[in-house]
Amino acid sequence: MSEFSGHLLLEAAVRPNGRTALAAQSFRAPYHLSKPYWDADTRTLLVQVVNPTAGILAGDRLESAIAVGAGAALLVTTPSASRVFRMQEGTAECHQQFTVAANGWLEVMPELLVPHRGCRFRQTTRINVEPGGGLFFADLLMPGRVAHGEAWEWEKLCLEIDVRLGGELILRERLAQSGEELRSLAALAGSGPAACFANAVLVAPAGDADARWRQAVEVLHGDGLWAGVSPLRLGGWSLKLVAADGVKLRRGLRAMRRALAEAFPRLACDPRKL
Protein backbone atom coordinates (compact mmCIF):
# COMPACT_ATOMS: atom_id res chain seq x y z
CA MET A 1 0.00 0.00 0.00
CA SER A 2 1.15 3.56 -0.68
CA GLU A 3 2.19 5.79 2.22
CA PHE A 4 0.46 9.11 2.86
CA SER A 5 2.21 12.35 3.72
CA GLY A 6 -0.88 14.35 4.49
CA HIS A 7 -1.20 17.90 5.71
CA LEU A 8 -4.02 20.11 6.95
CA LEU A 9 -3.81 23.89 7.35
CA LEU A 10 -6.72 25.97 8.64
CA GLU A 11 -6.78 29.64 9.61
CA ALA A 12 -9.99 31.06 11.04
CA ALA A 13 -10.66 34.80 11.11
CA VAL A 14 -13.64 36.98 11.91
CA ARG A 15 -15.37 38.91 9.12
CA PRO A 16 -16.68 42.49 9.42
CA ASN A 17 -20.20 41.06 9.97
CA GLY A 18 -18.96 39.17 13.04
CA ARG A 19 -19.03 35.72 11.47
CA THR A 20 -16.03 33.41 11.51
CA ALA A 21 -14.72 32.20 8.16
CA LEU A 22 -11.77 30.18 6.93
CA ALA A 23 -9.26 32.81 5.84
CA ALA A 24 -6.88 30.10 4.61
CA GLN A 25 -7.14 26.38 4.06
CA SER A 26 -4.95 23.71 2.53
CA PHE A 27 -5.15 19.93 2.76
CA ARG A 28 -3.79 16.81 1.15
CA ALA A 29 -4.92 13.18 1.44
CA PRO A 30 -5.83 11.59 3.69
CA TYR A 31 -7.31 14.85 4.97
CA HIS A 32 -10.47 16.24 3.37
CA LEU A 33 -12.84 19.01 4.50
CA SER A 34 -16.59 19.00 4.36
CA LYS A 35 -18.48 22.25 3.79
CA PRO A 36 -18.24 24.46 6.92
CA TYR A 37 -21.43 25.12 8.87
CA TRP A 38 -22.14 28.40 10.68
CA ASP A 39 -23.92 27.86 14.00
CA ALA A 40 -25.78 31.09 14.62
CA ASP A 41 -26.82 30.21 18.18
CA THR A 42 -23.25 29.84 19.46
CA ARG A 43 -21.65 32.02 16.75
CA THR A 44 -19.19 29.25 15.97
CA LEU A 45 -17.96 27.89 12.65
CA LEU A 46 -18.15 24.08 12.54
CA VAL A 47 -15.66 22.26 10.31
CA GLN A 48 -15.59 18.50 9.81
CA VAL A 49 -12.30 16.85 8.81
CA VAL A 50 -12.88 13.63 6.89
CA ASN A 51 -10.46 10.77 6.21
CA PRO A 52 -11.79 9.12 3.02
CA THR A 53 -9.25 6.27 3.27
CA ALA A 54 -9.60 3.08 5.33
CA GLY A 55 -7.49 4.57 8.12
CA ILE A 56 -3.89 5.10 9.21
CA LEU A 57 -1.30 2.71 7.77
CA ALA A 58 2.41 2.04 8.23
CA GLY A 59 4.56 4.89 6.93
CA ASP A 60 1.81 7.51 7.08
CA ARG A 61 2.95 10.96 8.21
CA LEU A 62 0.17 13.39 9.07
CA GLU A 63 0.72 17.08 9.81
CA SER A 64 -1.96 19.57 10.83
CA ALA A 65 -1.87 23.21 11.91
CA ILE A 66 -5.00 25.10 12.98
CA ALA A 67 -4.92 28.78 13.96
CA VAL A 68 -7.80 30.92 15.24
CA GLY A 69 -7.54 34.69 15.09
CA ALA A 70 -8.86 37.32 17.49
CA GLY A 71 -12.65 37.30 17.75
CA ALA A 72 -13.06 34.09 15.72
CA ALA A 73 -14.62 30.83 17.00
CA LEU A 74 -14.02 27.42 15.42
CA LEU A 75 -15.09 23.86 16.21
CA VAL A 76 -13.17 21.09 14.41
CA THR A 77 -14.49 17.56 14.55
CA THR A 78 -14.44 14.24 12.67
CA PRO A 79 -17.41 12.07 11.60
CA SER A 80 -15.91 8.69 12.49
CA ALA A 81 -13.21 6.94 14.50
CA SER A 82 -9.56 7.07 13.41
CA ARG A 83 -8.32 3.50 12.97
CA VAL A 84 -4.63 2.65 13.11
CA PHE A 85 -4.11 -0.65 11.28
CA ARG A 86 -1.74 -3.54 11.88
CA MET A 87 1.82 -2.93 10.67
CA GLN A 88 4.23 -5.60 9.49
CA GLU A 89 7.01 -3.02 9.73
CA GLY A 90 7.41 0.72 10.14
CA THR A 91 5.32 3.19 12.12
CA ALA A 92 2.78 5.97 11.58
CA GLU A 93 2.98 9.47 13.02
CA CYS A 94 0.63 12.41 13.50
CA HIS A 95 1.83 15.88 14.49
CA GLN A 96 -0.75 18.56 15.24
CA GLN A 97 -0.42 22.18 16.28
CA PHE A 98 -3.18 24.49 17.52
CA THR A 99 -2.86 28.22 18.20
CA VAL A 100 -5.49 30.63 19.51
CA ALA A 101 -5.21 34.41 19.62
CA ALA A 102 -6.59 36.63 22.38
CA ASN A 103 -10.42 36.67 22.25
CA GLY A 104 -10.41 33.66 19.92
CA TRP A 105 -11.96 30.27 20.62
CA LEU A 106 -11.04 26.82 19.33
CA GLU A 107 -12.62 23.48 20.11
CA VAL A 108 -11.11 20.25 18.76
CA MET A 109 -13.44 17.27 19.22
CA PRO A 110 -12.36 14.25 17.13
CA GLU A 111 -13.95 10.84 17.36
CA LEU A 112 -12.19 7.92 19.05
CA LEU A 113 -8.68 6.74 18.18
CA VAL A 114 -8.76 2.95 17.70
CA PRO A 115 -5.33 1.24 17.57
CA HIS A 116 -5.57 -2.24 16.03
CA ARG A 117 -3.51 -5.26 16.97
CA GLY A 118 0.19 -4.95 16.08
CA CYS A 119 0.18 -1.24 15.18
CA ARG A 120 2.80 1.37 16.07
CA PHE A 121 1.60 4.97 16.28
CA ARG A 122 2.86 8.26 17.71
CA GLN A 123 0.81 11.44 18.04
CA THR A 124 2.20 14.78 19.24
CA THR A 125 -0.02 17.75 20.03
CA ARG A 126 1.31 21.27 20.58
CA ILE A 127 -1.12 23.95 21.80
CA ASN A 128 -0.51 27.64 22.44
CA VAL A 129 -3.28 29.96 23.63
CA GLU A 130 -2.71 33.68 24.05
CA PRO A 131 -4.02 35.25 27.28
CA GLY A 132 -7.72 35.98 26.84
CA GLY A 133 -8.16 33.19 24.29
CA GLY A 134 -10.04 29.95 24.90
CA LEU A 135 -9.66 26.31 23.92
CA PHE A 136 -11.28 22.94 24.56
CA PHE A 137 -9.37 19.92 23.24
CA ALA A 138 -10.44 16.30 23.73
CA ASP A 139 -8.46 13.18 22.89
CA LEU A 140 -10.43 9.92 22.97
CA LEU A 141 -8.91 6.43 23.07
CA MET A 142 -10.59 3.06 22.58
CA PRO A 143 -8.48 -0.03 23.47
CA GLY A 144 -8.87 -1.57 20.00
CA ARG A 145 -11.44 -3.65 18.15
CA VAL A 146 -13.11 -5.02 21.26
CA ALA A 147 -15.65 -7.11 19.33
CA HIS A 148 -12.77 -8.83 17.49
CA GLY A 149 -10.91 -9.66 20.69
CA GLU A 150 -8.16 -7.12 19.90
CA ALA A 151 -8.36 -4.92 22.99
CA TRP A 152 -4.97 -3.69 24.26
CA GLU A 153 -3.07 -5.53 21.50
CA TRP A 154 -1.20 -2.64 19.88
CA GLU A 155 2.60 -2.90 19.73
CA LYS A 156 3.49 0.71 20.45
CA LEU A 157 1.34 3.74 21.20
CA CYS A 158 2.66 7.16 22.20
CA LEU A 159 0.41 10.18 22.78
CA GLU A 160 2.13 13.45 23.75
CA ILE A 161 0.65 16.85 24.51
CA ASP A 162 2.17 20.22 25.42
CA VAL A 163 -0.09 23.14 26.31
CA ARG A 164 1.19 26.70 26.64
CA LEU A 165 -0.60 29.83 27.78
CA GLY A 166 1.05 32.97 26.43
CA GLY A 167 4.09 30.88 25.56
CA GLU A 168 4.49 29.46 29.09
CA LEU A 169 4.13 25.72 29.60
CA ILE A 170 1.09 24.83 31.72
CA LEU A 171 0.70 21.13 30.87
CA ARG A 172 2.91 18.37 29.51
CA GLU A 173 1.65 14.80 29.33
CA ARG A 174 2.96 11.67 27.66
CA LEU A 175 1.25 8.31 27.41
CA ALA A 176 3.72 5.72 26.13
CA GLN A 177 2.54 2.44 27.61
CA SER A 178 2.01 -0.97 26.16
CA GLY A 179 -1.50 -2.28 25.78
CA GLU A 180 -0.88 -4.69 28.63
CA GLU A 181 0.13 -1.86 30.98
CA LEU A 182 -2.99 0.13 30.19
CA ARG A 183 -5.09 -3.01 30.55
CA SER A 184 -3.71 -3.31 34.09
CA LEU A 185 -4.60 0.32 34.85
CA ALA A 186 -8.13 -0.23 33.56
CA ALA A 187 -8.43 -3.31 35.77
CA LEU A 188 -7.27 -1.33 38.82
CA ALA A 189 -9.91 1.29 38.05
CA GLY A 190 -12.52 -1.43 37.82
CA SER A 191 -13.53 -0.27 34.36
CA GLY A 192 -13.24 -3.62 32.61
CA PRO A 193 -11.56 -4.95 29.45
CA ALA A 194 -13.33 -2.51 27.08
CA ALA A 195 -12.35 0.63 29.01
CA CYS A 196 -12.11 3.85 27.01
CA PHE A 197 -10.35 7.07 27.95
CA ALA A 198 -10.90 10.78 27.30
CA ASN A 199 -8.17 13.31 28.02
CA ALA A 200 -9.48 16.87 27.74
CA VAL A 201 -7.93 20.29 28.26
CA LEU A 202 -9.83 23.50 28.87
CA VAL A 203 -8.00 26.82 28.64
CA ALA A 204 -10.13 29.85 29.47
CA PRO A 205 -10.15 32.79 31.89
CA ALA A 206 -11.47 31.97 35.34
CA GLY A 207 -15.08 32.97 35.99
CA ASP A 208 -17.78 33.05 38.65
CA ALA A 209 -19.40 29.87 37.31
CA ASP A 210 -16.25 27.72 37.70
CA ALA A 211 -17.36 26.14 40.98
CA ARG A 212 -20.75 25.18 39.50
CA TRP A 213 -19.45 23.51 36.35
CA ARG A 214 -16.70 21.71 38.27
CA GLN A 215 -19.27 20.27 40.63
CA ALA A 216 -21.48 19.28 37.67
CA VAL A 217 -18.54 17.42 36.08
CA GLU A 218 -17.53 15.69 39.31
CA VAL A 219 -21.04 14.34 39.91
CA LEU A 220 -20.80 12.47 36.60
CA HIS A 221 -18.53 10.02 38.44
CA GLY A 222 -20.35 6.69 38.84
CA ASP A 223 -22.27 4.03 36.92
CA GLY A 224 -19.33 2.91 34.81
CA LEU A 225 -17.87 6.40 34.37
CA TRP A 226 -14.93 7.95 36.21
CA ALA A 227 -14.56 11.74 35.99
CA GLY A 228 -12.00 14.16 37.40
CA VAL A 229 -10.96 17.82 37.12
CA SER A 230 -7.58 19.35 38.03
CA PRO A 231 -6.55 23.03 37.75
CA LEU A 232 -3.48 23.88 35.68
CA ARG A 233 -0.67 26.29 36.42
CA LEU A 234 -1.47 29.87 35.34
CA GLY A 235 -5.03 28.97 34.33
CA GLY A 236 -7.03 26.22 32.69
CA TRP A 237 -8.06 22.71 33.66
CA SER A 238 -7.21 19.10 32.89
CA LEU A 239 -10.31 16.90 32.63
CA LYS A 240 -10.25 13.09 32.57
CA LEU A 241 -12.85 10.47 31.80
CA VAL A 242 -12.55 6.68 32.06
CA ALA A 243 -15.56 4.70 30.91
CA ALA A 244 -16.48 1.04 30.78
CA ASP A 245 -17.08 1.25 27.01
CA GLY A 246 -17.29 3.65 24.08
CA VAL A 247 -21.00 4.36 24.54
CA LYS A 248 -20.55 5.45 28.15
CA LEU A 249 -17.52 7.53 27.16
CA ARG A 250 -19.45 9.44 24.49
CA ARG A 251 -22.36 10.01 26.86
CA GLY A 252 -19.99 11.20 29.56
CA LEU A 253 -18.25 13.61 27.20
CA ARG A 254 -21.58 15.03 26.01
CA ALA A 255 -22.63 15.53 29.63
CA MET A 256 -19.30 17.20 30.39
CA ARG A 257 -19.72 19.62 27.49
CA ARG A 258 -23.26 20.46 28.63
CA ALA A 259 -21.96 21.24 32.12
CA LEU A 260 -19.15 23.40 30.74
CA ALA A 261 -21.48 25.23 28.33
CA GLU A 262 -23.04 27.07 31.27
CA ALA A 263 -19.79 28.99 31.67
CA PHE A 264 -18.48 28.65 28.09
CA PRO A 265 -21.51 29.00 25.78
CA ARG A 266 -19.69 28.06 22.58
CA LEU A 267 -19.46 24.49 23.91
CA ALA A 268 -23.22 24.30 23.26
CA CYS A 269 -22.40 24.00 19.54
CA ASP A 270 -23.46 20.52 18.38
CA PRO A 271 -20.48 18.77 16.69
CA ARG A 272 -22.88 16.41 14.91
CA LYS A 273 -24.87 19.07 13.01
CA LEU A 274 -23.09 18.31 9.73
Question: Average per-residue pLDDT in the chain?
Answer: 90
> Is residue 94 within 8 Å of 126, Cβ to Cβ?
no
Q: Is the per-residue pLDDT at 225 higher than 80?
A: yes
The closest of 133, 135, 69 to 103, measured between CA atoms, is 133
Report field, pTM of the whole predicted structure over 0.85? yes
Q: Residues 97-119: what's their mean pLDDT?
A: 95
Q: Residues 67-72: what's their mean pLDDT?
A: 98
Q: Read off the pLDDT of residues 126-137 as tens digits, 9 standing for 90 and up.
A: 999 999 999 999
Q: Residues 184-190: what's their mean pLDDT?
A: 61
Nearest-angstrom CA–CA distance, 83 and 116: 7
42 DSSP 8-state letter: T
Q: What is the distance, to the nearest Å, from the Cα of residue 261 to the centroid of all Cα atoms in its chain?
A: 17
**pLDDT tier at 255 (50, 70, 90 boundaries)?**
very high
Q: Is the per-residue pLDDT at 195 higher than 90?
A: no
Q: Residues 13-39: what's their mean pLDDT?
A: 94
Nearest-angstrom CA–CA distance, 39 and 19: 10
Q: Is the per-residue pLDDT at 138 higher than 70?
A: yes
Nearest-angstrom CA–CA distance, 140 and 112: 5
Out of 62-66, 245-249, 269-273, least confident range: 269-273
Domain boundaries, given as residue ranges, for the chain: 5-268
**Burial (0-12, 13-18, 19+ Cβ within 10 Å), 102:** middle
